[in-house]
């Protein structure tokens, strides 16, 4: 994402934040840390841009809804340690700490954002968060998966950036984890929960997933003769 467009998107996102400005500044610094090749500020800007483009005329554009969505976007990857398996849970705790310290958000709103953040860790199953039927949670889950439905070139760039974040994994392990995740998405009747998101990204997402499997198959060593 170009610098000027990213700055405008991030300013709009952080302006909607429901937590104090000092906390927002701290999270913004965290998201700009070295090593965040994919899960960084560009990712947040892309999610907010996607939200603003596709939410026109929906309940998600009300001020109250946008504050919740902004909170979920800002915090859903706030904690990132590639060797940990509880990044989403740690991000939830960070969100709750900052949201409660401000004293301005009702408990139900804090809980909805927490559930959305937690749900981004369960995309492969489609169960975490999605089972609640909460429109805000489902919208955030779709936003986080929108990159799967990017152009083929952007999808491959995103894949390379993700691989750089998890450079400690072997090539075989990375391949197995990636194909396992993408295969789980492909096996869902519909990847995206919202009709708007499905219309925008479903076809491209399935094409990108199929392309990833084709490339993996082409790189696979031939079977040994029996």
The per-residue pLDDT for range 62-105, each reduced to its tens digit, is: 999 999 999 999 999 999 999 988 999 999 999 999 999 877 89
Task: Check residue 101 and give its pLDDT.
Answer: 87
- The conformation of residue 191, written as its DSSP 8-state character, comes to S
pLDDT, mean over the chain: 92
The encoded tokens of residue 119 equal: 């749900």
Which has the minimum average pLDDT: 44-48, 57-61, 120-124, 211-215?
120-124
Name residue, tokens 């915090």. 75
Q: From the centroid of its chain, how far is CA 50?
A: 11
Contact 32, 54 (CB under 8 A): no
CB atoms within 10 A of CB 21: 10
- pLDDT at 126 exceeding the cut of 60: no
Calpha distance 16→71 (Å, rounded): 8
10 Å CB burial of residue 182 (0-12, 13-18, 19+) is buried
Q: Which residues contact 188 (CB under 8 A, 6 or more apart)?
A: 126
State the maximum Cα–Cα separation within the chain, in Å, rounded to a whole number: 69
Q: Which is higher by pLDDT, 225 or 216?
A: 216
Residue 3: band (very low, low, confident or very high) from pLDDT cuts 50, 70, 90: confident
More confident residue, 125 or 128: 125
- The 10 Å CB-count burial string (b at 16+, else e) for 34-48 is eebbbbbbbbbbbbb
Instruction: With beta carbons less than 8 A apart as the criterion, state whether 17 and 70 touch.
Output: yes
Asked if pLDDT for residue 45 goes beyond 90, the answer is: yes
The pLDDT tens digits of the residues spanning 161-209 come to 999 999 999 999 999 999 999 999 999 999 999 999 999 999 999 999 9
DSSP string for 19-38: S-HHHHHHHHHHHTSTT-SS
- Tell me the per-residue pLDDT of 152-169, one tens digit each, with 9 for 90 and over: 999 999 999 999 999 999
Q: pTM score, two decimals?
A: 0.93
């Amino acid at each position: 994402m170009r610098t000027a467009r990213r700055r405008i998107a991030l300013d709009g996102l952080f302006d909607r934040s429901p937590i104090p400005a000092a906390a927002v500044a701290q999270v913004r610094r965290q998201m700009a840390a070295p090593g965040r090749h994919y899960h960084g500020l560009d990712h947040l800007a892309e999610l907010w841009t996607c939200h603003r483009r596709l939410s026109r005329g929906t309940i998600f554009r009300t001020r109250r809804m946008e504050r919740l969505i902004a909170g979920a976007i800002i915090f859903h990857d706030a904690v990132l340690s590639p060797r940990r398996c509880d990044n989403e849970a740690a991000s939830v705790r960070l969100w709750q700490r900052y949201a409660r310290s401000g004293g301005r958000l009702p408990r139900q709103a804090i809980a909805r954002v927490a559930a959305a953040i937690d749900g981004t860790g369960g995309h492969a199953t489609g169960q975490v968060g999605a089972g609640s039927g909460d429109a805000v949670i489902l919208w955030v889950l779709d936003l986080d998966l929108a990159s799967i439905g990017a152009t083929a070139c952007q999808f491959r760039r995103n894949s390379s950036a993700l691989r750089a974040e998890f450079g400690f994994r072997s090539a075989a392990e990375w391949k197995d984890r990636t194909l396992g995740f993408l295969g789980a998405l492909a096996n869902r009747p519909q990847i995206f929960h919202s009709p708007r998101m499905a219309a925008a990204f479903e076809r491209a997402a399935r094409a990108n997933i199929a392309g990833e499997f084709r490339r993996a198959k082409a790189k696979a060593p031939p079977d040994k003769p029996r």
